[in-house]
Amino acid sequence: MIADKQNFSPFNEEPISLISQAGEWTAPFACDLKDEQLKTMYQQMLAARLMDERFIKLQRSGKMSFVAPHSGHEAAQIAAAHAVRVGTDWLFPYYRDYGMTYALGEPLIEIFAQVTGSRLDTAKARQMPMHPSSKELNIFTGASAIASHIPPAVGAAISMKIRETGQVVLTSFGDGATSEGDFHAAINYAGAQGAPVVFLCENNRLAISVDFNKQTGAENIAIKAKAYGMPGYLVDGMDVLACYYVLQECVENARAGLGPSLVEAQVQRFGAHSSADDDSIYRSKEELEQMRQRDPLLRMRRFLENQGLWSERDENLFKKEILGEFQAIIDTLAEAEKVPLEWMFDDVYAEMLPHIAEQKKDFLG
């Protein structure tokens, strides 16, 4: 439990929010985060937004094959990274979660190498873009098959419980994933076994183009937790501190042996579902403009400015610095040699099986 704070009540009717649109602290308890952590959270949100914009430019210039934009999801993603113990707990993210992996500490060069399929990619360019992973940070490799990473997340959490490691798993997914059988099988098993896992649904109400109300008859995702014997929390996903405090409580409750929980962060997806999607077909410019009025970056920036912790000068300096890092990395990747095609045969198994060795031999001629 969070010391000196009110515990959050599950199955709340209105999304939990701690910061107003004007950047005012509205919670019934004091914010106990240090100034540096508050600034770091905002810097990571801003870096994630700028990264997203750069990904789109790289895709349009032919340097990336695919993008799944995450603008509008930054608050939930950065909050999740701060709620877990980095390098101890495990993250099972989905393909829109590069803001989360960046905030966890994944080096920018690894991120850019992965999305561009560079020779410097630690996954050897054998995953499609937007599939984060990190052995050092305990980040399970992202997958394209919707919700397919959720059962392995629960399995890992049950293993941690059996071995009494004190670790926790956090797995994230979109609202579309909750319409998949993998989600229901996994969350049901987690509830039955008391697995130390936190389920984070980044609900942007659009499974590509399918509106939330066409996916479920439930009033929200959080209420589904009742059926699985765990608490469910509805959170304003555009409020990074609300997301952080709720997720921190859920993570520490799981660590204390109190079992799993489901957190629904109601976010907005400012971009298309992916670079293969035309979102203008199913939503208007006016609707998108209304969404942008609730931009999580604007809210957190106003909060920091009200505290005297951020200024226009800080904003400009940070943007210049991070954009410079991006460009230096892109230049480095451009100088790297191309990925050898024969790498595709490596690491399929711990030891190469005879038939794969034969395929490699035939390929190399």
Report d(CA 213, CA 104) in Å as an integer: 33
From the list 189, 205, 282, 294, the catalytic residue is 282
From the list 49, 96, 131, 273, the catalytic residue is 273
Query: Maximum Cα–Cα distance for the chain, whole Å?
Result: 70
- Domain residue spans of the chain: 35-339
CA count, 13 A, side-chain hemisphere, 173: 27
Is 85 a catalytic site residue?
no
Is 149 a catalytic site residue?
no
Burial class for 334, CB neighbours closer than 10 Å (0-12, 13-18, 19+): exposed
Residue 325 — pLDDT band, cuts 50, 70, 90?
very high
Token code pair at residue 178: 């909750």
Q: Per residue in 49-89, pLDDT tens?
A: 999 999 999 999 999 999 999 999 999 999 999 999 999 99
* pLDDT over 80 at 279, yes or no: yes
Amino acid at the residue 106: E
From the list 49, 73, 149, 269, the catalytic residue is 269
Token code pair at residue 255: 């660590």
Q: Per residue in 115-131, pLDDT tens?
A: 999 999 999 998 899 99
Coil, strand, or helix at residue 250?
A: helix
User: What pTM value is reported for the model?
Assistant: 0.95
* pLDDT over 70 at 114, yes or no: yes
Residue 365: the pLDDT is 87
Is 282 a catalytic site residue?
yes
CATH class of 35-339: alpha beta
